Amino acid sequence: MQQLKRRGFCLGSAPIRQTDSHDISRWHLGMPVLLKSNSINLLTDHAAHIKQTEELVSALLKQTDCDSVLANTPYAERLEPKFQSLGSAFNEGDPQEIETVMFDAMDGDHIIAEDLWLKASWLSFHEDDASLRFRFSFGIDSLEDVAADPGRQKLAAELTDAVFPESRVITDNQALEETLKSILHSDGISFVERIIYFNSPNGGAYLHHDLERGHDGVVFAQLTGQTFWLALSKQALIEEIILFSKTHSWPDSLTLEMRLEMSELIGDRAYLSEQLGSFANAGLIHLINETEAFVQFLIARGHGTQLEPGDVLLLPQATEETCCWHSVFCLDDEMGQALSFAIRAKNYALTKPADATP
């Protein structure tokens, strides 16, 4: 049986049996949809690209600059002449950032878009967690309304294809495209705000959402290694926290102050929802991410999903209330590669407020 261990916290065993979660009607309830073995054939086509990316990550872990790797074969040939590197930047104000490589998009001698970037970052500050990610976007991170500039969004997606051609496991995946068109009642799907993930032993992600204006949801494709997920709608998470409080005593690791606050939170759904969304309530963060009792409770309640290479997981992110919250654990002895792309339906209406971003 595989153990769930993340950032120094031992959270019990992962279940052997898969939770049955491939019914696509779950999307509209804010619940995850598993497309088991959806991309297994495409992995073979991209085996060489996946291996190349593993070598890039090994170089980064040995403190080689990403920019200097991208200046050589095979990256230079795939990037140029359309994407011209402007070199790296290192933001000392962001301790999670490893390196940001900036690009202009060119058409001959003309710049058609500026300030596209690839940002490599650590996923946590824990010294035994080597999890990292490569994120592609443009403009001022976290401040730019990326949804309002689909042209640059498309170029940032093309930049991902040039650096990580295995992106096509998602973008050239007809079965996935048909499923998403059917779910979203759209005749076209694009994949934007792309991230390439490496979840490492003792790493992963705490419960969070990816709600952002311009996106309908997120698609996650496991390329190598295995991950374990807890995923459920925000409403369901709120109800599970309340049910947990009625059927369990608070774990010993919660301080008296945390217990008093939790007792207040579970009596007021609106306050509990607000505190979840703040990502700043220490007791709540500890309970839902760092206690074996709550993690095992969510698994027993059917919210666990295991991903193997070739599996794809869909995470709806429609509204604050219904978006799918999710948490990731690495199940292997080595880091595994995955793709996480935002889904934008062609008929997406930009009527949602720009401040919907968490």
Q: Which residues bind Fe ion (CB under 5 A)?
A: 210
What gap in Å lies between CA 282 and CA 224, rounded to an integer? 33
Closest distance to Fe ion from the beta carbon of 251 (Å): 25
With beta carbons less than 8 A apart as the criterion, state whether 139 and 193 touch: no
- Least Å distance between CB 142 and Fe ion? 15
Q: Residue 117 or residue 220: which is nearer to Fe ion going by CB?
A: 220
Type of residue numbered 105: A
Kindly give the residue spans of alpha helices, DSSP state H, lying in 150-291: 150-163, 168-171, 174-184, 234-247, 256-265, 269-278, 282-290
Min dist CB 65 to Fe ion, Å, is: 27
Q: How far apart are CA 342 and CA 194, in angstroms?
A: 7
With b for 16 or more beta-carbon neighbours within 10 A and e for fewer, the 303-325 pattern comes to bbbbbbbbbbbbbbbbeeebbbb
Joined together, the tokens standing for residue 317 give 């992110």
Q: Residue 44 has which token pair?
A: 């073979």
Phi-psi region of 228 (alpha: psi -120 to 50; beta: other; left: phi over 0): beta
User: Contact, 3 vs 284, CB < 8 A?
Assistant: no
Q: Which is nearer to Fe ion, 75 or 198 (CB)?
A: 198
Query: Closer CB to Fe ion, residue 118 or residue 195?
Result: 195
CB of 231 to Fe ion, least distance (A): 9
Spatial distance between the Cα atoms of 121 and 126, rounded to a whole number of angstroms: 13
Say which DSSP state 279 is in. Answer: T
Min dist CB 77 to Fe ion, Å, is: 32
Minimum CB distance to Fe ion, residue 97 (Å): 18
**With respect to Fe ion, which residue has the nearer C-beta, 99 or 193?**
193
Quick one: DSSP state of residue 309? T
Q: Given the complex with Fe ion, which of 113 and 318 has the nearer CB atom?
A: 318
Q: Tell which residue, 94, 59, 63, has the closest CA to residue 75.
A: 59
Tokens 């007809």 correspond to 174
Shortest distance in whole angstroms from residue 315 CB to Fe ion: 7
Q: How far apart are CA 129 and CA 246, in angstroms?
A: 34
Pairing of strands 9-13, 33-35: unpaired
Residue nearest to Fe ion (CB): 210
Compute the least distance from the CB of residue 326 to Fe ion, in Å: 6
User: Nearer Cβ to Fe ion, position 236 or 262?
Assistant: 236
CB 310 within 8 A of CB 38: yes
Distance (Å, whole) CA 278 – CA 272: 10
Smallest gap from Cβ 209 to Fe ion, in A, equals: 7
Which CB, 32 or 165, lies closer to Fe ion?
32
Q: Which CB atom, from 210 or from 240, has the smaller least distance to Fe ion?
A: 210
Q: Please identify, using beta-carbon distances, which residue of 26 and 49 lies nearer to Fe ion.
A: 26
